[in-house]
Amino acid sequence: MVRYLQSLRRLRRKRLAQQHTADQRVAVIGLGRFGSSLANELMHRGWDVLGIDTDTRLVQKYSDGLTHSAVADCTDPEVLRQLGVHEFTSAVVGIGTDIEASILVSSNLLEAEVPNIWAKAISRQHGQILERLGVHHVVLPEHEMGERVAHLVTGRMLDFIEFDDDYALVKTVAPDIVTGVPLGQSQVRSRYGVTVVGIKRPGEDFTYATADTVVQKGDVIVVTGKTHAVETFADLG
């Protein structure tokens, strides 16, 4: 019985390891600036990355840093099958300038029933087409980065992240109106429609904020709420 249980445990560990490995495989199709940067970051995080591009020069440039690489045209569904992409749990379409190729590759991945498909779009119209196809995640990197930087340039924010449902997370220097008293007494949520979730004092690490936290002048705080509300709050000064 002991030997049986030991064998069973080893089998379970092996299956979990195999499952973990399978879940950490991703195909990145298109090795331009976006695709290659993403592929390299995924490699740093311990993922197995298959990099694919029609440009031999790009594949040769990045092949040493990737788990696998291939020169191939994924607008052909048979090519995807031969590369085994249909067995991956995640795929990223990093093709931007060739919208037709982007749409065809995304369609092929959907037909192959890849569970998680991410695709880069170069315009809102391109993104809308990909969404209508059924792509699970559409990314507009240039637009999103431009919008983010605009918020930083025009306000007192140190960082800004906006979510799809008009909800934002902002890092900013604490306005004077919330300093010197516990957050629970400052009534930030009821007066301004935002919630302070984190605080950082010079020379210290970020910590969670509570109703008893007293914000001091010069503290950096992390605030969440509706986009307009956090923008207004960060501009209070």
pLDDT-based confidence at 42, cuts 50/70/90? very high
Res 20: pLDDT: 44
pLDDT tops 90 at residue 57:
yes
Residue 4: CA atoms inside 13 Å, Cβ hemisphere, count?
A: 1
User: What is residue 147's predicted lDDT score, i.e. its pLDDT?
Assistant: 66
Determine contact, residues 89/27, Cβ cutoff 8 Å.
Answer: no
Q: What pairing do the DSSP bridges indicate for beta strands 116-120 and 137-139?
A: parallel
DSSP per position, 59-91: HHHHGGGSSEEEE--TTSHHHHHHHTGGG-SEE
pLDDT of residue 150: 65
Least confident range of 125-134, 147-156, 192-201: 147-156
How far is 174 from 181, CA to CA, in rounded Å? Answer: 12
Helix (H, G, I), strand (E, B) or coil at 210: coil
pLDDT at 16: 40
Question: Distance between CA 119 and CA 130 in Å, rounded?
Answer: 8
Q: Counting runs of H as helices and runs of E as strands, what totals does the chain give?
A: 10, 11
Residues 98-121, mean pLDDT to the nearest whole number = 94
Q: Rounded mean pLDDT of 157-173?
A: 82
Q: Which of 6-10, 94-98, 145-149 comes out lowest in average pLDDT? A: 6-10
pLDDT above 70 for 73: yes
Instruction: State the average pLDDT over residues 33-44.
Output: 91
Tell me the mean pLDDT in the region 1-23.
45
Q: What is the DSSP letter of 177?
A: G
Give this prediction's pTM: 0.66
